[in-house]
Chains A and B, each alone.
Chain A
Amino acid sequence: MSDAIDANLELLDRQIVDHDGAMVAKVDDVELEERDDGRLHVTALLTGPGALGPRLGGAFGNMVASTWARLAGRTEPGRVSWSSVASVGIVVTLAVDRTTVAVDGFEVWMRDRIIAAIPGSKVLPK
């Protein structure tokens, strides 16, 4: 039983980092797939407001999910397939680079639209 994981306590809401430690997203929910062996298999980690909204629950949670869906133009949340997960500990570490999983659309949008336009955005703080 040593490497059993309690999902709510030790997987949900954990920070996901990519293989060189860059922050990617949070584990906002976990995808379970029914297999012919009758068991539920973890097939992916779900990220973004699309996954977090339902967990917040109530009118507010629905609003979060629906607003995001309208802005992002889709209802399916960000999906990190289980095959790219390297380890689960205090953080969830991926075996791949964060661009591979491409779950941070809002980050890219904010970077290209606003932050990149401000002088000095490409310079490392001194």
Chain B
Amino acid sequence: MKVGTSGLVALLVLLSGCVPSNPDTDTFDDKSLRTAGAALSQTRTVSGLLQTSYDGRMLRPTALAQLRYSEDSLDTATGAFTELNPPSARDAQYTRLSTLLGEAGDLVAEARIAVERSEEARYPRLVDRLDALASKLERLEGRLR
């Protein structure tokens, strides 16, 4: 049984794609790329939810449910990235992406509260800020690819 369990553990580690906390530049760039992509995906999702809600095309329960998943997913991606110790050559990139991730987190939380309170008046402004942030993330992603 011993071999079986150690084999299973190795498989799970491989599958979980866990990244060492002191990654080299390539691993760090790859992790940054995937984190930026995940943040972009959730930012655009929330923007879509607000836009369709504002246009009366979205159901409020669906928006609330999806907002919850988007916020969780963003928090997980952010946490997994900011806990890394970046190689010195990547300090600027680390700071830049961490800032964008922080802004994204705040904006998504703001969006959740707005939808919770059905404050449709605030949606257009939030959508613009979310889209602006998404473009920055997209540019960063483009540079990393």
Q: Do chains A and B touch in the complex (CB under 8 A)?
A: no
Task: Name A residues whose Cβ lies closer than 8 Å to a Cβ of B.
Answer: none
| Interfacial residues, chain B to chain A (CB-CB below 8 A) | none
